[in-house]
Structure 1
């Protein structure tokens, strides 16, 4: 499972809100919805977020292995 919890931590450190991402950086509101619901986003969007936040993909999302075997 993908978790975007690192993104929210990165945004908080930099005082960036979802409002800022949508209205200042033109990140689509549907993309923010997908992030909030841990749904997939494109690598293009990950790249844009990394540029906006001056970070790496590890600061955007993490993989959580929920395999219970």
Structure 2
């Protein structure tokens, strides 16, 4: 299962708010909502987030093995 926990940790480390992503960077509020619920996002969105946050994919998502 993919987790977006690293994304929210990256936001805290970089002192960037969800508000800034939505209203200053143009990320859809629905995208943030989907990430909070653990729902899928597109690779295009993942690429945009990496560019905006100047980070790698592993700073946005992680694979959590279900046991």
- Rg larger in structure: 1
Q: TM-score category by the smaller chain?
A: over 0.9
Q: C-alpha root-mean-square deviation of aligned residues, in Å?
A: 0.6
| TM-score normalised over the length of structure 2 | 0.96
Aligned-partner Cα distance in 1 for 2:48–2:15: 17
Q: Which runs of 4+ in 1 moved over 2 A?
A: none
Structure 1 stretches lacking a partner, 5+ long: none
SS of aligned partner of 1:55: coil
1:65, CA displacement in angstroms? 1.1
Structure 2 stretches lacking a partner, 5+ long: none
SS of aligned partner of 1:50: helix
